[in-house]
Amino acid sequence: MSDHDHHHDHSDLSETELRVHALETVLTEKGYVDPAALDLLIETYETKVGPRNGAQVVARAWTDPDYRARLLADGTTAITEFGFSGRQSEHLVVVENTPGVHNMVVCTLCSCYPWAVLGLPPVWYKSAPYRSRAVIDPRGVLGEFGVTLADNINIRVWDSTSEIRYLVLPQRPAGTDGWSEEQLAELVTRDSMIGTGLPKQPGEVA
Amino acid sequence: MDGAQDMGGLNYGAVEPEPNEPVFHAEWERRAFALTVAMAKPGGWNIDMSRFAREDRPHADYLSKSYYQIWLAGLERLMLERDLVTTDEIEAGHALQPPKPGAAALTRETVLPTLRRGSPTLRVAATPALFKVGDRVRAKQMNPPTHTRLPHYVRGHVGVIDLVHGSHIFPDTHAMGAGEQPQWLYTVRFDGRELWGDKADPTSSVSVDAWESYLDPIPDHA
């Protein structure tokens, strides 16, 4: 399923490149798409909408107990306080990690992912190995991300089979008393909000 | 349908995380993504129709395509089915027929408002919810030939209602052009051992979102 940057030696990908170009030409000539709108869509998801959005949400939940309560009660409304909303996050549920519970999100059926707070999903999230094994062998999959949890921690896997999107609220790392929201957001990784990673520790950021 | 997209519980090997992964890996992926998102408006299809157009293909074909190649194949199919383009046009790389009347493009001005709005699926409930948090339910044994969002690995298994999400568009009918027909939507949690047997991780559970008609009640004394 991987198709990284190998198109120089794979003729099928060259065919794909030609086909996409042909299709865009046809659709533009017929007036169905506006190339300027396509450029803005790409720019938005490459530069504006990404996991830094979710990191701000998590950092606020770590510092503001009222916000944390609002976020867990109604994630969809709580993220609008940052101006985040809409496509692929129309209905957002935030699930909280605790000392005894670790949450992990997958979409076994396709690639459902909370775009408004995490941007577009990485290739591994959309890949057959993750989609097939996250539900049956979550500890094994976590191990492939370098994450080892104690045997007594319960793992809750959330399979996004509807339009509800899930975001993991990781635990705030120890040793961060007095840190600002901006500093804390630097500790929040994309994978920690999917549940395939943990936040960085204070010593890992400058 | 039990297409190749329904992967839960199978084994496709080790996950390969990619450090510092770019959002797109090639220019054609950028364009395929944008074309797919932008064509929903003039095309008039919904997300459930797009999902069915991607998954309704032989397993080998689905598994041999990369992610955005599957998107592209689904997009072409949706457009061909609606006579928005012809195969001759795609082969020629130029328009050969006049456009379909009334298919208005997404404009640069409407991109951000459209993304912000999204497509919420919550609808007013026509009936009271059959289940409440804590109820035990059994996922139905079913394999319709058309689109469904009940993954095969939970079918026949017993879980507990964990969340009640209100009444949402029913994808099985929505994908077929048979209307929204909203139903109550629940998160149902299944113990790992219930799904996978004694060798499963005893500390694991898997939750899926299931519409009411996917579930059968289990009486308290059962």
Dist. CA A117–CA A80, nearest whole Å: 11
Q: Give the H or E element holding residue B33.
A: helix B27-43
Residue A11: the pLDDT is: 56
Looking at the predicted structure, is the pLDDT value of residue A77 above 90?
A: yes
pLDDT of residue B1: 78
pLDDT value for A44: 98
- CB pair distance less than 8 Å for A23 and B35: yes
A107 is catalytic: yes
CA dihedral B84, B87, B90, B92 (to 10 degrees): -120
DSSP 8-state symbol, A102: E
Over 90: is that where the pLDDT of B222 sits? no
What is the ipTM for the molecules in this complex? 0.97
Rg (CA), chain A: 19
Reported as a pLDDT band with limits 50, 70 and 90, residue A13 is low
A2 inside 8 A of chain B by CB: yes
Q: How far is A62 from chain B (nearest CA, A)?
A: 24
Predicted local confidence at residue B220, as pLDDT: 73
Portion 49-78 of A in contact with B at CB < 8 A: 50
What whole-number distance in Å separates Cα of residue A71 and Cα of residue A60? 10
pLDDT given at position A1: 42
Q: Hey, what amino acid is at A93?
A: V
Evaluate if residue A9 carries a pLDDT over 90.
no
| Residue B49: exposure state from Cβ atoms within 10 A (0-12, 13-18, ≥19) | buried
What residues in B contact A127, CB-CB < 8 Å? 12, 15-16, 67
For residue B210, list chain A residues with Cβ-Cβ distance below 8 A.
Answer: 161
Q: Mind telling me how many Å the CA of B196 is from chain A's nearest CA?
A: 7
Contact list, B62 vs chain A (CB under 8 Å): none
Give B171-199 pLDDT, tens digit per residue. Answer: 999 999 999 999 999 999 999 999 999 99
pLDDT band at A186 (very low <50, low <70, confident <90, very high): very high
- Answer yes or no: is pLDDT of A4 > 60: no
pTM above 0.90, yes or no: yes
Alpha helices (runs of H) in B67-188, residue ranges in sequence order: 67-81, 87-92, 108-117, 171-174
Tens-place pLDDT, residues A52-66: 999 999 999 999 999
A96-137 pLDDT per residue, tens: 999 999 999 999 999 999 999 999 999 999 999 999 999 999
∠ CA B157-B158-B159, rounded to 5°:
120
Average pLDDT score over chain A: 94
Indicate the residue of B17, B89, B98 with minimum beta-carbon distance to A26.
B89
Round to whole Å and give the CA distance between A132 and B10. 5
pLDDT of residue A6: 45
Q: How confident is the model at residue A150 (pLDDT cuts 50, 70, 90)?
A: very high
Closest-CA distance of chain B to residue A48, Å: 11
pLDDT at A100: 98
Interface A-B, measured as beta-carbon pairs within 8 A, has a size of 292
pLDDT of amino acid A8: 46
- Which percentage of chain B shows pLDDT scores above 70? 99
Q: Are B50 and B40 in contact (CB under 8 A)?
A: yes
Q: Is A112 considered catalytic here?
A: yes
- Note the pLDDT tens digit of each residue in B65-87: 999 999 999 999 999 999 999 99
B98 vs A contacts (CB less than 8 Å): 30
Give the per-residue pLDDT at B221.
64
Contact A132, B7 (CB under 8 A): yes
> With 50 as the cut, is the pLDDT of residue A3 above it?
no
Closest approach of B154 to chain A, Cα-based (Å): 11
- pLDDT value at residue A5: 46
Q: Which of B209, B212, B215 to substitute to test the interface with A, most A CBs within 10 Å?
A: B209
